[in-house]
Every structure is written in structure tokens, then in C-alpha cells.
Structure 1
């Protein structure tokens, strides 16, 4: 499903392999779907066959000012279809690389949930690292595309979170969508890092491959 409204260009890409069993992400998806001026792509509904319409997705991204990734954390990363979406849609020569400016100056916001509680993301916890240790791939993806990575919104312990906490989380998410780009902290964020990929690092014929493909 893709819904859109061009009056306020926010593109929400939601990925959950099983919405029926979602305690948090289903409500975030519903909040995005009902938010005015937000275009929503439910990846597992739109591309259940994993055949992504790259041109259509690139058009949505090009029209947006803010791109939001909404997903549960699975094995310290994103669901498989969202990873495929990144591989195919953020292509060399369009999203990054020589002359690629399609996403330059836009914002990328991660809205994620974890099954483990926040205390588990600690050197003494069973996840062994603070949650920030798992964010560099997102941050660097944004930087390579010339985007600004906004502070993530994360709900820990989603499996057992009290309904009041979930409702508060969803309400904050909805308010953020409504108020963007009037977020006080945005004025304090540093400008996007410059990450130029030399042409020599991309052999001829590799334009459609992921960043580290063909190794």
C-alpha cells in the first residue's frame, strides 16, 4: 500500500513481516497512514513478491523532504525486505556517487523498536553493546547519500511494553510527523558529512549493484 499527499512531503517506509503480531509497529503504521501530508509505503504489502518498483520508489524519495524508516530491530538490523529496498532503490549514480544529488539535503529518521529492554543494550547486558553501537550503518547510509541523520526514536522492550507506554510512543511519533520540520533540535544538528565515492571505486557496469556488491 502506498498513500500520498503532496502538501507536506514526508515519506514513511514501514517494514514489518507480520503486522498482525506487531504490538507497536502496527500502531505506528496506522498513525502514519492517517497523518495529513504523509506518504506511506507498507513494504510487505506493496512488494510481497520482493519485486520492488525502483523508479516509483525513487520518485517518492525525490519528492520528500523527510524519509522515515519504521521497523522492528531484527538481529541487530532491519527486516530483509527493507534491506533489499535500500540495496535496489539507493542506487549508484542516483542516491550516491559522482553527480548523484537526488537525496542531497534531505533528512532521514529512524523509528525502531526492540524486543529486548533498554537494559539489555549495555556492556553488562546480553546484547553487550549500547544501542547506539548498531546505528553506524544507518548514519553512514544517510551521509553517503548527502542526507542528515536525525536522532532516532526507539522503543525498547516492545514485547512487554505497557499499553500506556505504547500509546505515548505512538502519539509522540504522530506529533513529530505533524510538526516537522519545526523540531527545536534540528537547528543544533551538524550539517551533513561529505562522502564522495571515487569513480575508480565503481567499475564499469556496476551502477545497479549495491555499494559493496560484486566482491
Structure 2
């Protein structure tokens, strides 16, 4: 079955990373369904029944989003609240629609990987910050498969990433595209 990729980015047209990932995913419609929440629900009113049917019609589920204030964009949080409902995603009344379904995250983080460490600028790893997603899907008995991350190039003035001073962002981005597709294909 195809993989459903829920993309939540409030300005995908101006994005660099998420936009490029979406462009690549859309080249393989036989493998991936790209579902852009901001395009489908510009008013923020989510049709939970429609979303549940869409999930049921697919195999794996990937949530793709930029890290926003060390979390997900608000529309994705609303989607989670509305779609992962009692009696459908969890609960004693047949709430098993995510049971054993492979679920993963694909995130873009604006800062460097080193900043997401216990010794780093933000004192927490990306794994720590994404733990609520893992917990949510484990609660729903899904098969949570972790996350794929693209770390940005935010630097302090005059600072270069060791060993990569001359590596253009375009190369890093293009390498991430294939790595991302491999991650999704091997869930």
C-alpha cells in the first residue's frame, strides 16, 4: 500500500526544505500520497472523518513538518486532536485503526544538530522534543518508526560548521532528498 505523507507547513511555497521534499515525493504518485493540510484546510476546520478514511486507505503514515517553537505547527496539533479520536485511534470501542500501522516523522529543524544536545544551545535533543509524538502513537498501538531530520544551517556570526565550510546548502539539501525517500521506503 502507498504511504500517506501529511505535510503541515503554513507557507510551503516559501519553504526550501519541505518544499523540495514535497516536489520529490510527488514524482512518485504510485508510492506516496502527499496531503498538504494548509492547502486542504486553509480555514483550519479539519474534516476528521475524511482524514481517518484517508489514513485507512493507506499503509504507512508520515507526518512532515518544520519544527515550530520546538514543536509542530498549530494546524498539525489540531489535526492530531481531531483525527486521533477515541473510538477510532484508541479506546475500548474499536479504537484500533492505527494498530501496527507504521508511523514516522519527517522534520526540518532550523538550527544545527549540535544545538539539539544536552550540552548544546537548547539543552534537549530533537528526540526529546519529539517524544510526545512517539508517546501519542505508542498510545494508539501504532508501530512508531522514529523520525528523519534535516538540520538547518543557522550559525552565529562568523561561525562555520567544521569540515563543511565550503559545502553549499544546495548539496546538503539534495543529499537529504534521497536520504528522506530511503527512510520512507524502509519504514
Q: Verify same fold: TM over 0.5.
A: yes
Does the aligned pair in 1 maintain the 2:65–2:107 contact within 8 Å? yes
Show the counterpart of 1:213: none
Show the counterpart of 1:211: none
* Count of residues in correspondence between the two structures: 173
- Pair 1:134-2:141 in alignment: no
Which of 18, 22, 40 is the aligned partner of 1:25? 18
Does the aligned pair in 2 maintain the 1:123–1:129 contact within 8 Å? yes
CA RMSD of aligned residues (A): 1.7
Show the counterpart of 2:164: none
Which of 169, 180, 183 is the aligned partner of 1:162? 169
- Pair 1:111-2:106 in alignment: yes
Show the counterpart of 1:146: 141
Scaled by the length of structure 1, the TM-score of the pair is: 0.75
Show the counterpart of 2:31: 37
Does the aligned pair in 1 maintain the 2:134–2:146 contact within 8 Å? no
CA distance in 2, matches of 1:123, 1:176: 26
- Pair 1:49-2:43 in alignment: yes
Q: For structure 2, which runs of at least 5 residues remain unmatched after alignment?
A: 156-167
- Describe how 1:51-200 pairs up with structure 2 within 5 A: 51-98=45-92, 99-157=94-152, 162-177=169-184, 180=185, 183=186
Structure 2 CA distance for partners of 1:16 and 1:109, relative to 1, 3 Å: same
Does the aligned pair in 1 maintain the 2:98–2:141 contact within 8 Å? yes
CA distance in 2, matches of 1:19, 1:25: 7
1:97 CA displacement: 1.0
Show the counterpart of 2:159: none
Does the aligned pair in 1 maintain the 2:25–2:32 contact within 8 Å? yes
Scaled by the length of structure 2, the TM-score of the pair is: 0.86
CA distance in 2, matches of 1:22, 1:122: 25
Q: Structure 1: which 4+ aligned runs deviate by more than 4 Å?
A: 158-161
